[in-house]
Structure 1
Amino acid sequence: MPRILILTTVIVVVLSGLVTGGVYWHEQPGFCTNCHTPMHEYVENYYSGDTTIMITRHAMADTVSLRCLDCHSQKLNEQLTEGAHWLAGNYTFPLKKRELGTRSFCMTAGCHVEEEIIKATTSNHNMSFAFSQHDPRHGKQECYTCHSMHGQSVYSCNQCHHFDLPEGWIAPQPNGVIASIN
């Protein structure tokens, strides 16, 4: 009887360690690259230290470092469907840009506060008036209109205006088409 108790205890401890380790590993940014080759660039950007890329800034946040699953939380059936598409080769590369950065998503409790963003981004831009690109004078835009989490962000104001580009940003083309952002 003691052998069965010891063996059962060892099995329970090993299994709980594997489950705990698996859950922790699943939450790491590099987890998805084990199968999803299109994710390599995104994970490299996460760890790159290039603060002009939004994912890197979120990874290096002063308060809480965000991981992929903090924004890309998916249900098990979605993960299984994507896994099946990958196994079958039924996906495009680069991956379709998700319009995840909506105002309602980015300005949830614990994330961004619109008033603070407007205040932090207001400057004179060598003009006679104060201006914030986040001021809703042209209507409230979705965050993804300008901000790209995994690639270069686009200073959409420059479709009509001629402001200095922030470091690492690109301007839209005159016709408003934004060339290949991820």
Structure 2
Amino acid sequence: MPFKEKVIHFWKTASLKLKIACFFVLLILLGTTAIAAEKASETPASCAICHNMQSHYDSWHSGSLSAKKHADAGITCHDCHTPKMSQQIEEGIKYITGDYDEPMKKREFSKALCLQCHTLETAKGKTDFPEGNPHDSHEGEQECFKCHSMHQQSKTTCSECHSFTWIKELPDNWKKGK
């Protein structure tokens, strides 16, 4: 008798108590698997399971980009990226089926998220150059992502119009021109 038929026969002839026991064993297995998957997804290395995330993990793990600076400060992926389990499952399905963007779209985090850890006053103080302060823009309040990037070089948006000398002195994780 094929396996499928054995399972069907077992289920038809099993007592109610055995069916209930099987149901609870299945629930325990599913729950344990879900908890293990949730715990495993908290580690940055789990992000690199998908090949389109490898460069993001690499920039967090090594190099000179802002992601590495955050890693050195003990910040992990889920400190800024806080997906729900349903989102992670959806992303997993998209990855398996090939229904995802390559390269991935750059996330545009709000200034409010950045200001949970960083202060604008500190940023303005560190960038108070005689020629002009990029954090005190004549364009008004700007979103941080307009210039700052985690997994790619950051860019000086003000250099699109201005040529401040301090731009040349920025570290290598910044694009210094147009």
> Do they fold alike, i.e. is TM over 0.5?
yes
The answer to whether structure 1 residue 78 and structure 2 residue 87 are counterparts is yes
Aligned to 1:118: 124
* In structure 2, distance between residues paired with 1:97 and 1:18: 31
* In structure 1, distance between residues paired with 2:70 and 2:107: 17
Match for residue 25 of structure 1 among 40, 58, 72: 40
Match for residue 68 of structure 2 among 56, 69, 78: 56
Q: Is the 8 A contact 1:159 1:171 kept in 2?
A: no
**Identical positions, percent:** 33
The count of corresponding residues between Structure 1 and Structure 2 is 145
Larger Rg: 2
The answer to whether structure 1 residue 43 and structure 2 residue 57 are counterparts is yes
Q: Normalised by the size of structure 1, how large is the TM-score?
A: 0.71
The answer to whether structure 1 residue 134 and structure 2 residue 135 are counterparts is yes
Aligned to 1:167: 171
Q: Is the 8 A contact 2:40 2:46 kept in 1?
A: yes
Q: Is the 8 A contact 1:145 1:156 kept in 2?
A: yes
Moved over 6 A (4+): 17-21
Aligned to 2:151: 150
* In structure 2, distance between residues paired with 1:133 and 1:167: 15
1:67-125 residue CA offsets vs partner (Å, 9 max, x unmatched) = 0011111111111111111111001211111112x2111112xx01111110122122x
Q: Judging changes above 3 Å, is the alpha-carbon distance between structure 1 residues 27 and 143 closer, same or farther for their aligned structure 2 residues?
A: same
Q: Is the 8 A contact 2:59 2:68 kept in 1?
A: yes
- For structure 2, the residue ranges without an aligned partner over 5 or more in a row are 1-28
* In structure 1, distance between residues paired with 2:146 and 2:78: 22
Q: Normalised by the size of structure 2, how large is the TM-score?
A: 0.73
Q: Is the 8 A contact 2:38 2:85 kept in 1?
A: no
Q: 1:25: Cα distance to partner?
A: 3.3
* In structure 2, distance between residues paired with 1:46 and 1:89: 24
* In structure 2, distance between residues paired with 1:113 and 1:96: 27
* In structure 2, distance between residues paired with 1:97 and 1:172: 20
1:5-52 residue CA offsets vs partner (Å, 9 max, x unmatched) = xxxxxxxxxx9x998876553221111222x1111111111111x33x
Amino acid at match of 1:37: H
Q: Is the 8 A contact 1:147 1:154 kept in 2?
A: yes
Q: Is the 8 A contact 2:156 2:177 kept in 1?
A: yes
- For structure 1, the residue ranges without an aligned partner over 5 or more in a row are 1-14, 174-182
RMSD, aligned CA = 2.3
Q: 1:140: Cα distance to partner?
A: 0.6
Q: Is the 8 A contact 1:156 1:171 kept in 2?
A: no
